[in-house]
A and B are shown apart, each in its own frame.
Chain A
Amino acid sequence: MTTIDVDGLAGQMLAAALPMLSKSAMDARAFAEVEFTKIALTIRSIGEQVASGQLTEQQATLLLDMQTHASKNVLLTLEGLALLGAEAAMNAALGAVKTAVNTAVGFALIA
């Protein structure tokens, strides 16, 4: 069995994991920008409806509460996407380890 180069292995793991994290972050950012813009536009519209007398204060409160729940759902999706990004990064890093270990032992120890 050849010696496992710890520094080289760490570098391979990092190289495999970073693109996954980067891709996940870009995807989450694009999603958040679109959805938060929609929420901001709706909140502005609610304010205009109150000002023009189309909505009572109580009705506006209900509509704003709906926006709050919508914002929470956007944030929860971001949390989920972050978990998926971390998961993909970890699996990519472990995939790099698989290659390194199989090379070190000289046969396909890990299928």
Chain B
Amino acid sequence: MTEQQSGSFWRSLTAFLILPGTVAFLVPLLLKPDAGSVHGDGLAVLLIGVALLLWCVRDFHVIGRGSLAPWAPPKRLVIVGLYRFSRNPMYVAVLVILAGWALAFRSTTLAIYAACVAIAFHLRVVLNEEPFLARTHGAEWTMYRARVPRWLIPRALLLAALVVSVGCAVRLIGDYDDTLDRGVTAVQQQTELYLMHLRSAPGAPFDRAFHDSVAASLVVLKTRAAALPTYAIVTQQLGNLQAQYSDFRRLDSSMARPFPAAAIGSVESSIAVSVESILKLELALKRGSSPPASTPPPER
């Protein structure tokens, strides 16, 4: 390696570390959330971006005899490699890296940062770089600009988006959970037994053990639902069921004996509607299998 080549290499390396290093790595590392897991899909996107960026930097150095730094631009117009598909693949690569950061940390802040950087890149390219290239490379630049789009070939971009979308099935709500299904069913069964006992022996006293047992089961089930991914709806439903049992507990403890049969019917009906609602949704979460129809209302 001659002294000139060595100097060019170090200029390229310095420019790489200062410019993409800051925009694509240092700032995202400062903006990333402190807590939370790192998602593999984002890291995969980030690595793709790094690979694209390194490819472009290599072409700049080897073909263009220059660096990505404004103070040492390529001496020749680089139109090989990724520059055949986009006039600015290096910027595209940096944006892919930033998208990877945002996806890896599921961070809105990083996504907004990526959008701001995209706008800044666009303005810099349109207002500064393209006029410079037109002045420096003349006809060669004009021909290249006519042949290759500024960012990406729209059809390729559309196809890539479709491939990514179709490759991943959309999931808006969590999956069926057998433990929740069985747990809610068990609570209802326990309740039915208690209500049957009250019907057959209306003078039976308030049973604290029954209410404590149901309350404990519902706390466990709600904790489980809260831990499951995209289970907010079922978690809220279990919260409503807890509130119903809390009302029932107060009613049962305050009701004079014999417990009126009609009131037992009202309790039973409201809890049954709640349980059926939860189970209806749970069974629908199996996706594809037909959930059974609701129990019809009693004859009027």
**Which residues of A approach B to under 8 Å, CB–CB?**
4, 27, 30-31, 34-35, 37-39, 41-42, 45-46, 48-49, 54-55, 58-59, 62-63, 65-67, 69-74, 76-77, 79-81, 83-84, 86-88, 90-91, 94-95, 97-98, 101, 105, 109-110
A44 to chain B, nearest CB (A): 9
Q: A54-B260, A76-B233, A76-B277 are in contact. Are A110 and B166 (CB under 8 A)?
A: yes
Q: A34-B296, A45-B265, A45-B266 are in contact. Are A39 and B233 (CB under 8 A)?
A: no
**Which residues of B approach A to under 8 Å, CB–CB?**
158-159, 162-163, 165-167, 169-173, 233-234, 236-237, 240-241, 243-244, 247-248, 250-251, 254-255, 260, 262-263, 265-267, 269-274, 276-278, 280-281, 284-285, 287, 293-298, 300
Chain A residues with CB under 8 Å of B274's CB are: 69-70, 73
In the complex, A105 Cα to B166 Cα: how many Å? 15
In the complex, A38 Cα to B273 Cα: how many Å? 8
Q: A41-B300, A63-B247, A66-B267 are in contact. Are A55 and B260 (CB under 8 A)?
A: yes
Q: Is the CB of A80 within 8 A of B233?
A: yes
Q: A49-B260, A91-B170 are in contact. Are A66 and B271 (CB under 8 A)?
A: yes
Chain A residues with CB under 8 Å of B166's CB are: 94-95, 97-98, 101, 110
Q: Is the CB of B276 within 8 A of A46?
A: no
Q: Is the CB of B297 within 8 A of A49?
A: no
In the complex, A71 Cα to B293 Cα: how many Å? 18
Q: Is the CB of A84 within 8 A of B173?
A: yes
Q: A62-B250, A69-B270 are in contact. Are A84 and B287 (CB under 8 A)?
A: yes
Q: Is the CB of B280 within 8 A of A77?
A: yes
Q: Is the CB of A73 within 8 A of B266?
A: no
Q: Is the CB of A73 within 8 A of B250?
A: no
Chain A residues with CB under 8 Å of B295's CB are: 34
Q: Is the CB of A63 within 8 A of B251?
A: yes
In the complex, A80 Cα to B281 Cα: how many Å? 7
Q: Give 27 A-B contacts (CB < 8 Å), ordered by A residue.
A: A30-B293, A34-B297, A35-B273, A35-B294, A37-B297, A41-B269, A41-B297, A45-B262, A55-B260, A59-B251, A63-B263, A66-B244, A66-B267, A69-B247, A70-B240, A73-B240, A73-B273, A73-B277, A76-B236, A77-B281, A80-B281, A80-B285, A84-B172, A84-B173, A86-B172, A94-B169, A110-B167
